[in-house]
Chains A and B, each alone.
Chain A
Amino acid sequence: MKEHLLDVRDLRVSFDTYAGEVQAVRGISFHLDLGETLAIVGESGCGKSVSMQTMMRLLPMPPARLKSGEILFEGKDLALLTDKEMEDYRGKEFAMIFQDSMTSLNPTMRVGNQMCEGIMRHQKVSKEEAKKIAIDMLAQVGIPNPEAAFRHYPHTMSGGQRQRVMIAMALSCNPKILIADEPTTALDVTMQAQILDIMNKLKKTYDTAIILITHDLGVVAQMADRIAVMYAGEIMEAGSAREIFYQPSHPYTWGLLGAMPNMIQDVKSELYTIPGTPPDLYAPPVGCPFAARCEYAMEACLKEEPPKFVTDGGHVSRCWLHDERAPEVTPPAGIPALKKGVKVDE
Chain B
Amino acid sequence: MSEKLLEVTGLKKYFNVGRNQTLKAVDGVSFSIEKGKTLGLVGESGCGKTTVGRTLLRIYEPDGGKILFNGHDISRVSKAQSKELTKKMQMIFQDPYASLNPFFTVGEIVAEGLEIHKICKTKKEERERVEELLTMVGLSKDHANRFPHEFSGGQRQRVGIARALALDPEFIVCDEAISALDVSIQAQVVNMLMNFQRELGLTYLFIAHDLSMVRHIADQTAVMYLGTLAEYGDTEEVYSHPIHPYTKGLLSAVPVADPDYEKTHERIHMDGEVGSPINPKPGCRFCGRCPLATEKCREVDPILRDMGGGHMVACHNV
A319: min CB distance to chain B, Å:
17
CA distance A158 to B123 in the complex (A): 51
A217 proximity list for chain B (CB < 8 A): 183, 257
**Residue of A190, A215, A224, A267 with most partner-chain B CB within 10 A:** A190
Contact: A261 with B215, CB < 8 Å?
Answer: yes
CA distance A261 to B254 in the complex (A): 12
Query: Which among A220, A273, A277 is the interface contact of B152 at CB below 8 angstroms?
Result: A277
Contact: B250 with A189, CB < 8 Å?
Answer: yes
Q: Contact mask A252-267 → B, CB, 8 Å, 1/0?
A: 0001111111111011
Contact: B211 with A158, CB < 8 Å?
Answer: no
Q: Does B279 contact A (CB under 8 A)?
A: no
A193's closest neighbor in chain B, by CB?
B253
Q: Does A218 contact B (CB under 8 A)?
A: yes
Q: Helix, strand, loop or mixed for chain B's interface?
A: helix
Query: Which among A158, A193, A256, A266 is the interface contact of B267 at CB below 8 angstroms?
Result: A193
Interface size class of B (residues with CB under 8 A): 35 or more
Query: Which among B188, B254, B267 is the interface contact of A263 at CB below 8 angstroms?
Result: B254
B267's closest neighbor in chain A, by CB?
A193
B245: min CB distance to chain A, Å:
12
A261 proximity list for chain B (CB < 8 A): 190, 212-213, 215-217
Interface size class of A (residues with CB under 8 A): 35 or more
Contact: B256 with A264, CB < 8 Å?
Answer: yes
**Chain B contacts with A in 157-203, Cβ cutoff 8 A:** 182-188, 190-191, 194
A215 proximity list for chain B (CB < 8 A): 182-183
B87 proximity list for chain A (CB < 8 A): none
Given known pairs A189-B211, A266-B239, the reply for A259 and B187 (CB within 8 Å) is yes
Contact: A218 with B257, CB < 8 Å?
Answer: yes
Contact: A188 with B209, CB < 8 Å?
Answer: yes
Number of A-B contacts (CB under 8 A): 124
Q: Does A219 contact B (CB under 8 A)?
A: yes
A277 proximity list for chain B (CB < 8 A): 152, 154, 185
Q: Which stretch, B22-30, B69-77, B258-266, B305-313, touches the partner chain A?
A: B258-266
A263: min CB distance to chain B, Å:
4
B191 proximity list for chain A (CB < 8 A): 270-271, 273
Contact: B257 with A257, CB < 8 Å?
Answer: yes
Contact: B183 with A189, CB < 8 Å?
Answer: no
Q: Does B142 contact A (CB under 8 A)?
A: no
Contact: B257 with A245, CB < 8 Å?
Answer: yes
Contact: A256 with B255, CB < 8 Å?
Answer: no
Q: Contact mask B259-277 → A, CB, 8 Å, 1/0?
A: 1111000010111011000
A44's closest neighbor in chain B, by CB?
B182
Query: Which among A188, A218, A224, A275 is the interface contact of B256 at CB below 8 angstroms?
Result: A218
Contact: A263 with B236, CB < 8 Å?
Answer: no
CA distance A29 to B153 in the complex (A): 30
Given known pairs A218-B256, A221-B257, A241-B259, the reply for A266 and B273 (CB within 8 Å) is no
**Chain A contacts with B in 208-260, Cβ cutoff 8 A:** 215-222, 224, 241-242, 245, 255-260
Q: Does A272 contact B (CB under 8 A)?
A: yes
Query: Which among A188, A196, A219, A272 is the interface contact of B187 at CB below 8 angstroms?
Result: A272
Chain A residues within CB distance 8 Å of chain B: 43-44, 158, 160, 188-194, 196-197, 215-222, 224, 241-242, 245, 255-264, 266-268, 270-275, 277
Chain B residues within CB distance 8 Å of chain A: 44-45, 152-154, 182-188, 190-191, 194, 209, 211-213, 215-217, 235-236, 239-240, 249-250, 252-262, 267, 269-271, 273-274
